[in-house]
Structure 1
Amino acid sequence: MAKPNKAPKTNAVRILDGENIHYELMEYDISDGQVDGVSVAQKTGQAVEAVYKTLVTKASQKELFVFLLPVALELDLKKAAKAAGVKKLEMLPLKDLTKETGYVRGGCSAIGMKRKYPTFIDESALELDEIIVSAGRPGVQMKLSPENLKEVSEAVFKDIVKTQ
């Protein structure tokens, strides 16, 4: 007998379940290859301001930092470096993403990476009751409170986006 179709159990989902943190999963179609954040907001019917992307940066070969910010905005590398307490940051090359985090582009979650990296959430999240972030696999997002995301990812809220 076939089991009912259940939501995928990614590392992020397992961790949230283990911590008894409330979240809601949302699945969306990725067959068109559109996994950028703005497309994800449209596909899930969510406000683009509430959908956050996860970006991984590096200060050196061994020193990585994770930043979550609204999908339509751009990471300010100077503000991000200041938040992280380093002189300079650059984006982690896409070819290194899976090796360093265990996640792939379009499915990178700040929760459940291979290692715990210093994590920063743009302070705009504090204005929202819930934000939507990757659940650890393309096609699956999770909605949770910014405070719960901060707690489980051991993040800090900082101003990290480029001023419009």
Structure 2
Amino acid sequence: MKINKTNAARLLDKAKIRYELIPYEVDEADLSAVHVATDLGENVEQVFKTLVLQGDKTGYFVCIIPGDKELNLKLAAKVSGNKSCDLIPMKELLPLTGYIRGACSPLGMKKHFPTYIHETCLLFPFIFVSAGQRGLQIKVAPEALIREIRGEVCCLFVD
């Protein structure tokens, strides 16, 4: 099966970063990273979701966390230099990032936003993030991804 490259994959090519494009079965009723992990047969702690937020001081920023976790908004606000923050409304996602829900990649957004990734990403030789379209994930070494997205590793939730 031929997989068409996404903008996110082309950015990794340009940066000479090794990765794999991994297809999965899309369930329109369940776009969760937990579903993606199950379909891929992978550990859900390695399948990361990309969330876009708006802070009261710094504006938009991105948080990347394991698929089965809930973002702690207080921690996200603190690491991003805000007093408070919230997820952006769904209708703003496409115009702001160029991506739709269930396909938001930390790579290749319309513009670069400050990006924070949960520290557990470094526990694994590779993690999965959206390739920028539903039904496609990128398998990549976390250190390489962090360099490319100019991400900051930090704590974004408390178990």
TM above 0.5, one fold?
yes
SS at match of 1:108: coil
Q: Which amino acid aligns with 2:91?
A: K
Residues 58, 80 of structure 2: 8 Å contact kept: no
For 2:67 and 2:124, the matched residues in 1 are separated by: 15
Q: Which amino acid aligns with 2:35?
A: S
Q: Give the Å deviation of 1:134.
A: 0.3
Go from structure 1 to structure 2 and tell me whether the alpha carbon gap of 1:81 and 1:32 turns closer, same or farther (over 3 Å shift). Answer: closer
**Greater C-alpha Rg:** 1
SS at match of 1:156: strand
Question: Any unmatched runs of 5+ in structure 1?
Answer: none
Go from structure 1 to structure 2 and tell me whether the alpha carbon gap of 1:100 and 1:116 turns closer, same or farther (over 3 Å shift). Answer: same
Aligned length: 159
For 2:13 and 2:29, the matched residues in 1 are separated by: 29
Question: Any unmatched runs of 5+ in structure 2?
Answer: none
SS at match of 2:131: strand
Q: Does structure 1 residue 149 correspond to structure 2 residue 145? A: yes
Instruction: Work out the percentage of aligned pairs sharing the same amino acid.
Output: 41
Spell out, residue by residue over 1:114-152, the C-alpha distance to the aligned partner (whole angstroms, 9 max, x if none). 000000000011111110110110100011011011011
CA RMSD, 1 decimal: 1.5
TM-score by length of 2: 0.95
Q: Give the Å deviation of 1:61.
A: 9.6
Q: How does 1:12-161 map to 2 (within 5 A)?
A: 12-60=8-56, 63-161=59-157
TM-score by length of 1: 0.92
